[in-house]
Amino acid sequence: MHFVDEITLEVHGGRGGDGSTAMRREKFVPLGGPAGGDGGDGGDVILQADEGLTTLLDLKYRRVLRAEDGEHGRGKDQYGKRGEPLLVRVPVGSQIFDADSGELLCDLDAVGQQFVAAAGGRRGRGNIHFATPQDRAPMRAEKGEAGASRKLRIELKMLADVGIVGFPNVGKSTLISVVSKARPKIADYPFTTLVPNLGVVSRGDERSFVIADVPGLIEGAADGAGLGHRFLKHIERTRVLLILVSIDPTPGRSLAGDFKTLCKELEQFDPNLASRPKVVAVSKQDLPEAREALPAFRKAMKRKGIEVSAFSAATQEGVEELLNRIEELLSNNPVQVKPRAAPLPKRSKR
């Protein structure tokens, strides 16, 4: 499956049906009278957050979404049928923007939450509404109104409890494959991971949390370098950040230097990320050089009041302790319970 996290499309509400101009022709009713029914309202285009979706791929090739038109009114006081709404499922975490103004219209961050992207047009009234004592046989009716139309940009920001951040090849994908059932691509070359991966970490007693790895950042990611500038937005909603560092043979690289660079990129992208609860961990502890570099890094971080975890995804040494630390921070930073999504507003009557 391809990962698509941003699309632009057009939405059009259905047109309202026209009112009817008709007269009764009944036996023993010499004056007759108006009998034209109303048209039906046009259908709405409604976006709904669905927990079963993780990408906007389904909408990538549906660039125009149009709801059903309302039926026209008919004689004998018959009203036209209302147009069927078009219900479009999007992943939880989708933000809806006006493509022209850039205004944020809605943030679908709760399962089942709905947003009327384009309201259907109002129905036209039939001539039964226009009879008066002076004109008991009106020959006029209203046309239905066109539905709303707009151009939208939908941007997906995944919902995860923990976001793993680190340079390429520090073991993010390996860790998420060990602690969850996610199976990301793993290889020993930079930028193996080209899309974010989500995994559910089960902790027993019906406890679990969602963890996401973000494609490897490099220095300058917040300004557009590498892949990070595209995917950093997916950690904006996380409650805890896992800053992952490891040894690297590149001259001038160090654990402390990498940590400083990662924190700088996060702050430049979103200053709020700087104050987000963090777990700092050194991976690849099955390698002698990684073990040798750990004490000095821990000492440097201790001076800043930061506790450092260490683990090896290959041998799973220290993984349980790391998960315990993450779970502790999550319990201290509970999910903000959102109110139940309000029902869609009813169409006003004339």
Tens of pLDDT along 18-52? Answer: 999 988 877 766 567 888 999 999 999 999 998 87
Q: Is residue 343 part of a domain?
A: no
**What is the CATH classification number for the domain harbouring 252?**
3.40.50.300
State the Cα torsion 241-242-243-245 to the nearest 10°: -170
Q: 0.75 exceeded by the pTM?
A: no
Can you tell me the distance from the alpha carbon of 109 to that of 26, in angstroms, rounded to the nearest whole number? 57
* 148, part of any domain: yes
Averaged pLDDT for residues 205-232: 61
CA separation for the pair 62, 45 (Å, rounded): 13
- Tell whether 341 is covered by a domain: no
Same domain, 204 and 325: yes
Model confidence at 257: pLDDT above 80 = yes
d(CA 116, CA 333): 33
Please indicate, yes or no, if residue 108 is contained in any of the structural domains: yes
> Whole-angstrom Cα distance, residue 159 to residue 311?
26
Our separate counts of H helices and E strands in the chain read 6, 14
Whole-angstrom distance, CA of residue 266 vs CA of residue 329: 19
Q: Quick one: residue 128, left, alpha or beta (phi over 0 = left, psi -120 to 50 = alpha)?
A: alpha
144 and 183, same structural domain?
A: no
Same-domain status, 154 and 167: no
Co-location of 143 and 167 in the same domain: no
In degrees, rounded to 5, the angle at the alpha carbon of residue 47 between the alpha carbons of residues 41 and 52 is 140
Q: What is the CATH number of the domain that holds 100?
A: 2.70.210.12
Is residue 349 in some structural domain?
no
Cβ atoms of 16 and 124 closer than 8 Å: yes
My answer on whether 323 and 265 are in the same domain is yes
Pair (20, 64) in one structural domain: yes
Of 119, 136, 158, the last residue of a domain is: 158
Q: Are strands 86-91 and 45-50 parallel, antiparallel or unpaired?
A: parallel
Confidence of residue 206 (pLDDT cuts 50, 70, 90): low
The predicted-structure confidence for 266-313, as pLDDT tens digits, reads as follows 888 888 887 889 999 999 998 898 899 999 999 999 998 999 999 998
Both 65 and 183 in one domain: the answer is no
- Residue 309 lies in domain: 162-332
Point out the domain boundary residue: 158, 186, 201.
158
pLDDT above 80: residue 193: no
Residue 350 in any domain: the answer is no
Same domain, 125 and 4: yes
What lies within 8 Å, CB to CB, of 138 at 6+ separation is 34, 127, 130, 131, 132
The type of residue at 304 is K
What distances in angstroms separate CA 98 from CA 102, 154, 230, 256, 338, one per listed residue? 5, 9, 20, 42, 24
Whether 264 and 239 map to the same domain: the answer is: yes
Q: Which of 91, 125, 158 is the last residue of a domain?
A: 158
Number of domains in the chain: 2
* Same domain, residue pair 56 and 88: yes
Residues 86 and 215 in one domain: no
Any domain includes 310: yes
Residue 345 lies in a domain: no
Average pLDDT of the segment spanning 241-268? 85
Contact (CB, 8 A) for 247 and 236: no
Asked if residue 166 and residue 145 are part of one domain, the reply reads: no
